[in-house]
């Protein structure tokens, strides 16, 4: 297999960054294909933490080339900070390691200002957006008013596009949201330094590059952002992100055909978390939820917000498997469950008088769903030093077995800690 899509099977924050980092050691390319700086991947290597929002996690491996594809929304200031931070740590020393599609959408400060103004105006109807401007930037793309990455390097076109965009944005900011307007000169000045840095990473035809890499049987890893249940079309709308987060988005965002994808790996936390608003059937507002939040260090890498925590949800995972075509699972953060006397797995819901095993089709139904649980004993042992599956406690092995039986797909990787080395391999990725 030469091309694999790595996606989150829940509401994001499943641990995709660590998995992509580990697998990047085997990959020739890592491609980021959707989303923006509203996603944060936390990587821990030899105890050192690196947080990436836009650059693919493969950048920590000097032999791996990284591509930010056309489907991504690029906060140019944030991207410049990431590049400078990596260079400071003696990473990304070769500019050819990172390529950025000329067709990607650019996000500027006025997108963020509009995003934050909307959320503040919503009051009791908040979506829980990160306020990073991703939605307004995608809106520009859909309305054919976007600034593309390639436009950054033609000042005349860039200024014209900014001025055109600000006519509408400033009207909304001033007249509807009662905010101060932004001038085109200010917006330009904010990104001048970034333009000078980013010109070294331009890529005119990213689709062709990845197509040729796949033809040559090079190993390509497609790195998703957020999670399947936040998909703009198939997630818990309106409590979703502004892009498509499912596996088929890798084809759309990169510009390749679906026949080029060999495998889809679903990154799945051993429990469930969610940031922001929206329905969450297995949420735990009790001591167990606090235990998971504390032991799992469940704070958002992008916003620092506390993540809501709950038990793992089989109907939601089976839905994610269906809409993504997930081939196998990487089970993350199972070590966080160590110390719990009892564990629960949601295998169905009660909706009114009915017992349902399928994920409800509407957010309204999901909000009314009461989880029905399988219960099993937990374990007290510290499993963070386990290097083989057989070293895990029998209770942990039972938990994994029940998940596989219910999901009917294999678990290929088991993560027992945050570090790159704390991974138990059952089957190889490629």
The Cα diameter of the chain in Å comes to 66
DSSP per-residue codes, 4-34: EEEEESSSS-SSHHHHHHHHHTT-SEEEE-S
Count Cβ atoms within 10 A of the Cβ of residue 103 and give its class: 0-12 exposed, 13-18 middle, 19 or more buried: buried
What is the per-residue DSSP string for 354-382?
A: EEE-SPPSSHHHHHHPEEEEEEEE---S-
Number of neighbours of residue 372 by Cβ within 10 angstroms? 16
- Is the distance from CB of 327 to CB of 265 less than 8 angstroms? yes
Check 13, 21, 28, 412 and give the catalytic one: 13
Q: d(Cα 65, Cα 31) in Å, to the nearest integer?
A: 9
Answer yes or no: 41 catalytic.
Answer: yes
**Cα–Cα dist 393/162, whole Å:** 59
Contact, 32 vs 223, CB < 8 A?
yes
53 has catalytic annotation: no
Rounding to the nearest 10 degrees, give the CA dihedral for residues 41, 43, 391, 375.
Answer: -30
Per-residue tokens: 195:
């333009």
Q: What distances in angstroms separate CA 172 from CA 284, 290, 401, one per listed residue? A: 39, 41, 54
Active-site residue identified among 21, 28, 41, 335 = 41
Q: Which residues are catalytic?
A: 13, 41
């Amino acid at each position: 297999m030469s091309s694999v899509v790595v996606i989150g099977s829940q509401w994001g924050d499943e641990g995709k960054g660590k998995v992509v980092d580990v697998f990047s050691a085997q990959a020739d390319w890592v491609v980021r294909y959707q989303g923006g700086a509203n996603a944060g991947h936390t990587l821990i290597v030899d105890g050192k933490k690196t947080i990436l929002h836009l650059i693919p996690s493969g950048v920590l491996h000097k032999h791996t080339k990284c591509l930010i594809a056309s489907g991504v929304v690029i906060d140019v200031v944030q991207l410049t900070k990431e590049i400078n931070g990596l260079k400071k740590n003696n990473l990304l020393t070769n500019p050819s390691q990172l390529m950025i599609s000329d067709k990607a959408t650019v996000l500027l400060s006025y997108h963020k200002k509009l995003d934050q103004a909307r959320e503040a105006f919503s009051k009791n109807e908040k979506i829980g957006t990160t306020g990073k401007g991703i939605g307004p930037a995608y809106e520009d793309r859909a309305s054919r008013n976007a600034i593309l990455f390639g436009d950054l390097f033609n000042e005349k076109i860039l200024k014209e596009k900014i001025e055109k965009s600000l006519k509408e944005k400033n009207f909304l900011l001033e007249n509807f949201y009662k905010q101060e307007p932004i001038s085109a000169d200010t917006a330009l000045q904010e990104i001048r330094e970034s333009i000078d840095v980013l010109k070294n990473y331009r890529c005119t035809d990213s689709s062709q590059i990845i197509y040729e890499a796949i033809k040559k049987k090079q190993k390509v890893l497609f790195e998703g952002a957020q999670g399947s249940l936040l998909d703009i079309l198939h997630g818990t709308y309106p409590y979703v992100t502004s892009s498509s987060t499912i596996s088929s988005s890798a084809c759309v965002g990169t510009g390749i055909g679906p026949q080029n994808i060999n495998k889809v790996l679903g990154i799945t936390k051993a429990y469930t978390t969610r940031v922001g608003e929206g329905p969450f059937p297995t949420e735990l507002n009790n001591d167990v939820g606090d235990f998971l939040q504390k032991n799992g260090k469940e704070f958002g890498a992008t916003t620092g917000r506390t993540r809501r925590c709950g038990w793992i949800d089989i109907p939601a995972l089976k839905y994610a498997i269906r809409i993504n075509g997930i081939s196998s699972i990487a089970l993350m953060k199972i070590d966080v469950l160590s110390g719990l006397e009892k564990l629960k797995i949601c295998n169905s819901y009660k909706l009114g008088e009915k017992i349902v095993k399928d994920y409800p089709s509407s957010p309204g139904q999901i909000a009314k769903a009461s989880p029905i649980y399988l219960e099993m004993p937990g374990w007290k042992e510290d499993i963070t030093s386990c290097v083989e599956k057989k070293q895990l406690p029998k209770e942990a092995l039972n938990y994994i077995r029940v998940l596989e039986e219910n999901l009917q797909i294999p678990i290929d990787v088991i993560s027992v800690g945050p570090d790159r080395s704390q991974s138990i391999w059952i089957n190889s990725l490629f």
